[in-house]
């Protein structure tokens, strides 16, 4: 099988958008050039399982240009058919259609595994888990995988703890160059702007409740405030809640905040974060969305079971009448809005994440003896990604002086040494 | 746009809640309201729909009152426009704002609103202006300030230049590098500028700069209006009604449009 896409004729528009992204991805370009020159991925079968839009396409193409045999899959709700067509036009087997449902998504992922990838570049760990469950013969031949999301690394660590993980996995998500920027600034911008665009609202003067103040939540809070919203943060972790307070945000329980919310954005990645009671307490006209996220982070199935009914649907906006009588608008059925209803995180931010992914692939393929576990990307590789990006943003990194190095290397007290 | 012609009274009430409530307060006959200044005229189909359905005829007339003379309108429009411009830049380029260096050109309220929002979301802001008062305030607020004539001579990359149309004339956009957005209400700073197409919709190339097309602050012909455009139109009509019936009571206008 050599691919399954919606319409090959869409390739030109997809290619234009890939070209735009690539022009703003200096880290990906630099690291893929090194992989090509060193022959690191030459002839290696690599499966890319990711949101399929212009930035991820750039990574798939970069790996292919460096000599890898690249196959691509993506869930239907995360697939851009134009981009899929552009990758197919470039000769890559692509298994992704925007209109695919869950069963076809699974068939597409299995089709990728039929190419017997030696490395999987994953987003959400769904394909890594699938290969362990359904294709043990493929796993046995694999050299490893990389995973770029918080929600994907968590089950992989569980797999390792339970002895189920059979390949080395680099937690690209945990690299500082990824999580400090992608999760916070990238998702912050893309989620907040997508909420405003999809719901067609101005955030000026609106009350925005941000549920969860991790890296994603803090970025969402910051961007909402920048557009003129009054932000209330809800948190279950006292330290994170304190951080929110020190950033100048009101901190309340979700039950307290819901009653005055114009917008609720969940950023916890935990099922049933916004529960039926919260939805029921929202004022009429409130908007609910998920940034990042997992299925049923907004408890929509439970809400329907409790009597909520959809009274209107306009594009990605579903309007529900709750049992309390209030009418709330749910964006994109509670899916990860910035991906499914917008264009994903900004290009240069994703460039950092994909730079980390490429560095992770390089680490997997050039490091002997990595055991079947979840590994961190070495600090030096992480630093290199950041340094390339910093230069592209116009910054210059300083160096440690000999005196500083001596100080850091010594355990002797230096009190009075300069007197 | 044909959708303007399909307006019902209920629909137009929902889109223009403040102004039509005020209009009912004083309505005796068809109101003809004129505004001048930098805001663009309304599309003829919308003007016609407002006249037929709501009983207000909103005309653009150089002799009409300049809404920007109202401090409250200036505050509201600058905040709405700053949000609209930043959202358009983000959606039309898919590029980051955090981490970038942005030059905000001009000395009015819009420049202030843009600078504040951009700084809050993590951009390094340069205020480009020749106005001594703006320079003083910007320097004291911690901004780097650059004279207009140095706009194109930069020692570090500037990722985005935003023209506000206040306190500057026509600038050599083709001498700039990076993204350029014309946030001015009427698009005067880039009127007539010829661009060549890029690989991205709404982005044209001019020299080494990429000009990102901005939406109008008011509803446009042939484009589905956004809530921000309706909100500003609502405020504009409210301002014109208050000018006629309440001696331009700016405090009342401010109260009426405060969310």
Judgement on whether residues B42 and B101 belong to the same structural domain of the protein: no
From CA A85, how far away is CA A115, in angstroms rounded?
A: 19
Domain A8-178+345-392: which CATH number of 3.40.50.1480, 3.30.70.270, 3.40.50.410, 2.60.120.10 = 3.40.50.1480
Torsion of CA A343, A348, A352, A357, to 10 degrees: 50
Task: Give the angle B239-B245-B247 at the CA atoms, nearest 5°.
Answer: 75
Judgement on whether residues B55 and B84 belong to the same structural domain of the protein: no
- A12-21, A120-129, B58-67, B144-153: which has the minimum mean pLDDT? B144-153
Residue A97 tokens, joined? 């259609």
Partner residue facing B121 (CB), from A181, A205, A222: A222
Partner residue facing A227 (CB), from B98, B117, B156: B117
Partner residue facing B95 (CB), from A17, A24, A227: A24
The secondary element (H helix, E strand) that includes residue A157 is helix A150-161
Q: What's the pLDDT band for A337 if we cut at 50, 70, 90?
A: confident
Residues of A in contact with B200 (CB under 8 A): 16-17, 20
| The overall pTM is greater than 0.95 | no
From CA A50, how far away is CA B119, in angstroms rounded?
A: 32
Are A193 and A364 contacting, i.e. CB atoms less than 8 angstroms apart?
no
From CA B93, how far away is CA A60, in angstroms rounded?
A: 21
**Rg (chain B; Cα; Å):** 19
Residues of A in contact with B118 (CB under 8 A): 226
Q: Which fold has domain A185-340?
A: Rossmann fold (3.40.50)
Closest CA to B82 of B70, B71, B90: B90
Domains of chain A: which residue ranges? 8-178+345-392, 185-340
Q: Do A342 and B91 touch (CB under 8 A)?
A: yes
Our count of domains for chain B comes to 2
Is B85 a member of any domain? yes
A contact set with B (CB within 8 A): 16-17, 19-21, 24, 54, 181, 185-186, 188-190, 193, 196-197, 200-206, 222-223, 225-228, 342-344, 346-349, 392-394
Is B217 a member of any domain? no
**Closest B-chain CA to A198:** B226
Are B37 and B67 contacting, i.e. CB atoms less than 8 angstroms apart?
yes
- Across the strands, what pairs with A386? none
Q: Is the dihedral of CA A366, A66, A75, A218 positive or negative?
A: positive
Secondary structure tally for chain B: helices H, strands E: 9, 10
pLDDT at B152: 80
Judgement on whether residues B154 and B179 belong to the same structural domain of the protein: yes
Q: Which three-class secondary structure string do you get for B40-108?
A: CCCCHHHHHHHHHHHCEEEEECCCCECHHHCHHHHHHHHHHHHHHHHHHHHHHHCCCCCCCEEEEECCC
Residue B196 tokens, joined? 């060549």
Judgement on whether residues B37 and B87 belong to the same structural domain of the protein: no
Interface test with B, best of A13, A53, A190, A193 (most B CBs within 10 A): A193
- Look at B4 and A148; give whichever has higher pLDDT: A148
The secondary element (H helix, E strand) that includes residue A320 is strand A317-321
Residue A176 tokens, joined? 């500082």
Is B246 a member of any domain? yes
Q: State mean pLDDT over A218-234.
A: 97
**Closest B-chain CA to A342:** B91
pLDDT at B28: 62
Mean pLDDT of chain A: 94
Cβ atoms within 10 Å of A236's Cβ, excluding its own:
14
- Look at B153 and A387; give whichever has higher pLDDT: A387
Could you give the C-alpha distances from A122 to A34, A156, A292, A339, B214, in angstroms and in order?
22, 12, 15, 15, 36
Residues of B in contact with A228 (CB under 8 A): 79, 83, 117
Q: State mean pLDDT over A148-161.
A: 93
Interface test with B, best of A25, A222, A226, A350 (most B CBs within 10 A): A226
From CA B42, how far away is CA B40, in angstroms rounded?
A: 7
Judgement on whether residues B86 and B191 belong to the same structural domain of the protein: yes
Q: Do A227 and B80 touch (CB under 8 A)?
A: no
Q: Do B122 and A201 touch (CB under 8 A)?
A: no
- pLDDT tens digits, chain B, 259 residues: what are they? 446 777 787 888 899 999 999 998 887 667 889 999 999 999 999 999 999 888 899 999 999 999 999 999 999 999 999 999 999 999 999 999 999 999 999 999 999 999 999 999 999 999 999 999 999 999 999 999 999 988 887 677 899 999 999 999 888 888 899 999 999 999 999 998 999 999 899 999 999 999 999 999 999 998 999 999 999 999 999 999 999 888 889 999 999 999 9
> Interface pTM (ipTM) of the complex?
0.90
pLDDT at B3: 67
Judgement on whether residues B87 and B190 belong to the same structural domain of the protein: yes
pLDDT at B1: 43
Residues of A in contact with B122 (CB under 8 A): 185, 222
DSSP string, A123-143: SSSHHHHHHHHH-HHHHHT--
From CA B181, how far away is CA B187, in angstroms rounded?
A: 10
Q: What's the pLDDT band for A74 if we cut at 50, 70, 90?
A: very high
Could you give the C-alpha distances from A1 to A44, A115, B79, B247, in angstroms and in order?
19, 9, 54, 75
Cβ atoms within 10 Å of B140's Cβ, excluding its own:
8
Partner residue facing A202 (CB), from B159, B203, B228: B228
Could you give the C-alpha distances from A58 to A26, A399, B74, in angstroms and in order?
11, 32, 43
Judgement on whether residues B198 and B99 belong to the same structural domain of the protein: yes
Strand B203-206 and strand B209-212: the pairing is antiparallel
Residue B252 tokens, joined? 């009342």
Distance from A347 to chain B by nearest Cα, in Å?
Answer: 5
Say yes or no: do domains A8-178+345-392 and A185-340 share a fold: yes
CB proximity B118 to A under 8 Å: yes
Judgement on whether residues B51 and B100 belong to the same structural domain of the protein: no
Residues of A in contact with B178 (CB under 8 A): none
CB proximity B90 to A under 8 Å: yes
Closest CA to A149 of A415, A357, A372: A357
Interface test with B, best of A223, A224, A248, A263 (most B CBs within 10 A): A223
Among B residues 136-195, those touching chain A with beta carbons less than 8 Å apart = 156-157, 159
Q: State mean pLDDT over A218-243.
A: 97
Interface test with A, best of B15, B110, B121, B219 (most A CBs within 10 A): B121
Q: Do B95 and A201 touch (CB under 8 A)?
A: no
Q: Do A205 and B259 touch (CB under 8 A)?
A: yes
Where helices occur in A327-377 by DSSP H, the ranges are: 337-340, 347-366
Could you give the C-alpha distances from A303 to A211, A289, A296, A299, A306, in angstroms and in order?
18, 15, 10, 6, 5
| CB pairs < 8 Å spanning A and B | 94
Judgement on whether residues B135 and B186 belong to the same structural domain of the protein: yes
Residues of B in contact with A348 (CB under 8 A): 95-96, 99
pLDDT at A412: 81
Where helices occur in A39-101 by DSSP H, the ranges are: 54-65, 81-89
Phi-psi region of A168 (alpha: psi -120 to 50; beta: other; left: phi over 0): beta
Q: What is the extent of the structural domain holding B56?
A: 2-64+225-257
Residue-wise pLDDT for A363-384, tens only, equals 999 999 999 999 999 999 999 9
Judgement on whether residues B28 and B108 belong to the same structural domain of the protein: no
Cβ atoms within 10 Å of A90's Cβ, excluding its own:
18
Closest CA to A84 of A16, A28, A14: A14
Residue-wise pLDDT for A83-95, tens only, equals 999 999 999 999 9
Cβ atoms within 10 Å of A410's Cβ, excluding its own:
9
Residue A167, pLDDT above cutoff 60:
yes
């Amino acid at each position: 099988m050599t691919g399954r896409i919606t319409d090959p004729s869409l390739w030109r528009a997809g290619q234009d958008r890939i070209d735009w992204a690539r022009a703003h991805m200096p880290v990906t370009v630099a690291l893929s050039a090194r992989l090509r020159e060193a022959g690191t991925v030459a002839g290696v079968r690599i499966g890319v399982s990711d949101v399929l839009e212009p930035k991820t396409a750039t990574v798939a193409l970069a790996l292919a240009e460096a000599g890898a045999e690249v196959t691509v899959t993506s869930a239907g709700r995360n697939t851009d058919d134009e981009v899929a067509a552009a990758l197919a036009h470039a000769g890559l087997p692509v298994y992704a259609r925007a209109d695919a449902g869950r069963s076809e998504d699974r068939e597409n992922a299995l089709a990728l595994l039929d190419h017997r990838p030696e490395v999987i570049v994953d987003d959400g760990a769904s394909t890594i888990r699938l290969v362990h469950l359904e294709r043990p013969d493929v796993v046995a031949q694999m050299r490893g995988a990389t995973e770029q999301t918080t929600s994907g690394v968590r089950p992989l660590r569980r797999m390792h703890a339970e002895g189920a993980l059979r390949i080395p996995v680099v937690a690209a998500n945990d690299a500082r160059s990824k999580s400090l920027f992608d999760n916070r600034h990238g998702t912050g911008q893309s989620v907040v702007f997508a909420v405003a665009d999809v719901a067609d609202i101005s955030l000026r003067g609106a009350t925005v409740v941000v549920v969860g103040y991790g890296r994603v939540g803090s970025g969402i809070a910051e961007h909402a405030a920048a557009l003129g919203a009054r932000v209330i943060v809800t948190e279950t972790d006292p330290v994170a809640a304190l951080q929110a307070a020190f950033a100048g945000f009101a901190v309340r329980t979700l039950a307290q905040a819901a009653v005055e919310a114009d917008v609720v954005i969940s950023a916890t990645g935990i099922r049933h974060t916004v529960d039926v009671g919260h939805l029921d307490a929202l004022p009429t006209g409130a908007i609910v969305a998920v940034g990042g996220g997992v299925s049923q982070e907004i408890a929509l199935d439970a809400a329907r079971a409790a009597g909520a009914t959809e009274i209107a649907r306009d594009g990605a906006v579903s309007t529900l009448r709750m049992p309390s009588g209030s009418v709330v608008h749910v964006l994109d059925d509670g899916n990860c809005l910035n991906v499914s209803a917008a264009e994903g995180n900004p290009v240069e931010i994703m460039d950092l994440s994909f730079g980390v992914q490429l560095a992770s692939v390089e680490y997997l393929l050039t490091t002997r003896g990595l055991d079947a576990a979840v590994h961190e990307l070495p600090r030096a590789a992480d630093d290199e990604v950041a340094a390339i990006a910093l230069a592209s943003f116009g910054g210059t990194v300083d160096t440690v002086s000999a005196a500083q190095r001596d100080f850091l290397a010594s355990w002797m007290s230096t009190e009075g040494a300069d007197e | 746009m044909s959708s303007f012609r399909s307006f019902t009274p209920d629909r137009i009430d929902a889109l223009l809640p403040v102004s039509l409530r005020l209009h009912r307060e004083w309505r005796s006959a068809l109101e003809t309201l004129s505004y001048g200044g930098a805001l663009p005229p309304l599309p003829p189909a919308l003007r016609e729909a407002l006249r037929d359905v709501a009983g207000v005829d909103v005309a653009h007339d150089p002799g009409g009152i300049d809404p920007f003379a109202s401090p409250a309108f200036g505050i509201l429009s600058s905040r709405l426009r700053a949000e609209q411009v930043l959202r358009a830049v983000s959606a039309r380029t898919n590029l980051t704002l955090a981490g970038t260096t942005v030059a905000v050109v001009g000395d009015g309220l819009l420049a202030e609103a843009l600078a504040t929002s951009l700084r809050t979301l993590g951009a390094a802001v340069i205020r480009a202006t020749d106005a001594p008062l703006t320079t003083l305030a910007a320097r004291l607020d911690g901004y780097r300030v650059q004279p207009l004539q140095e706009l194109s001579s930069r020692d570090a990359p500037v990722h985005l230049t935003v023209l506000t149309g206040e306190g500057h004339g026509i600038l050599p956009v083709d001498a700039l590098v990076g993204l350029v957005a014309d946030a001015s209400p009427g698009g005067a700073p880039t009127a007539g500028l010829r661009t060549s197409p890029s690989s991205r919709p709404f982005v044209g190339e001019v020299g080494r700069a990429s000009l990102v097309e901005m939406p109008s602050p008011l509803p446009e012909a042939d484009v589905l209006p956004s809530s921000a455009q309706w909100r500003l139109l609502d405020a504009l009509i409210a301002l014109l009604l208050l000018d006629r019936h309440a001696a331009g009571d700016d405090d009342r206008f401010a109260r009426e449009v405060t969310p």
